[in-house]
Amino acid sequence: MNNAIAQLGDLTSEWVRNNQVPEVGWARMRALEFQERLNRRNTLVKRLEGSACALCKEFEPHVCPPALFNGAASNMCL
């Protein structure tokens, strides 16, 4: 924790020396958001693998919103 605080202090000192705070790269932010969503989805998939309810033949229609559920793209609801 102290190491993280020290690194943050170094970073802010650099900003003060340069007299500016660098602009956020929004493309990178979108990539991080995608990674977070993918990780969340993968976590849910792992949780479902061990569930008996996932073996139900009607599982996807039971848990997916009707707008997302269709036979070809059913994995979109996860």
The alpha carbon of residue 41 and the mean position of all alpha carbons in its chain are separated, in whole angstroms, by: 8
| Angle at the Cα of 47 from the Cα atoms of 45 and 49, rounded to 5 degrees | 70
> What is the 8-class DSSP label of residue 67?
T
Q: How far is 37 from 24, CA to CA, in rounded Å?
A: 20
- Tens-place pLDDT, residues 38-49: 999 999 888 888
Mean pLDDT, range 50-62, rounded to an integer: 79
Q: What are phi and psi of 66, to 5 degrees?
A: -55, -35
The model carries a pTM of 0.41
CA distance 71 to 60: 9
**Residue type (1 letter), 62:** H
Q: Residues 10-43: pLDDT tens digits?
A: 988 988 898 888 887 788 888 889 999 999 999 9
